[in-house]
Amino acid sequence: VKSKKKVDESTSTASKMSESPSSKPDRVVSFDAERANELFNHFTSHANTMKSILAVFRLLTETLRLKPSQFPLFYPKIRSRLSSWKANAIWAKLDKRSGQRTYGKGKIAAGQRVLVIGAGPCGLRAAIEAQLLGAKVVVIEKRDRFSRNNVLHLWPYNIFDLKGIAAKKFYGKFCAGSIDHISIRQLQCILLKVALLLGVEVFENTGFEELIEPRDAETGWKARLSPADHPVSQFEFDVLIGADGKRNTLPGFKRKEFRGKKYFTF
């Protein structure tokens, strides 16, 4: 991303907000709109690794003077401060999905705190759903890169679901024509971008070690992490989702391998 002059040398005011489902008027905030649009364009169209996606998004939220939070608190604000044609195309998709009655305007899971272990396709997709329901969602990933180039076959309902959360806006080749497959790495990049724009917090190089039970009725569940001094180690949660694959680190669960040698399509 090209460097720009300091924010106080070239600022513009976000003074107008487009209407969106469950949004409230955003207070007037001064920020560098040109730099924000440049960062957003890089985030959506050019960042194609876990490191670059997270790095650019953190710069973007810093420029917009935003902090990730629950969907009703974060999404309307980032939506109002980015209004390029590309941004509006993405907002249109996310508005339609988040406006479904299932999510109750982001209030169904209000007050719930969710920790997701693993930033694979399942972990990120679960994080997106919990975020749309209004929970405070944090994802931790032991690695700092997406390296799985295995190709996944997508069933029609998978394609429909992913297009509904703007997958094609981030990856123009997504299921073009008769193509019905995608690499795991590319799918992770798409889902990571969607999760971040909805307000999910994602931390790389963060491993889950074990659960820490509440000391009393006033405290919540915590996780012992690696590194031990990671800020998320202080995060108290109500729901824990183990999505770290075959090396699942949550104790007490029986595991059964499903080989998938046979399947039926209806």
In a domain, 193, yes or no: yes
Q: Is 159 domain-assigned?
A: yes
How many other β-carbons are positioned within 10 Å of the β-carbon of residue 33?
19
80 occurs within a structural domain: yes
Answer whether residue 20 is part of any domain.
no
CATH code where residue 71 lies = 3.50.50.60
pTM: 0.86
DSSP 95-131: HHHHTSGGGGGGTTTTT-EEEEE--SHHHHHHHHHHH
pLDDT in tens, 235-256: 999 999 999 887 777 777 777 6
Locate 189 and state its tokens.
Answer: 């990049």
Number of domains composing the chain: 1
Averaged over 137-157, what is the pLDDT? Answer: 94
Confidence of residue 43 (pLDDT cuts 50, 70, 90): very high
**What residue numbers bound the domain in which 85 lies?**
31-242
Q: Which of 226, 230, 255 is nearest to 242 (CA)?
A: 255
Task: State the average pLDDT over residues 94-109.
Answer: 97
Which tokens hold the place of 219?
A: 């405290």
Residue identified by tokens 């902090």 is: 67
Q: Is the pLDDT of residue 21 over 70?
A: no
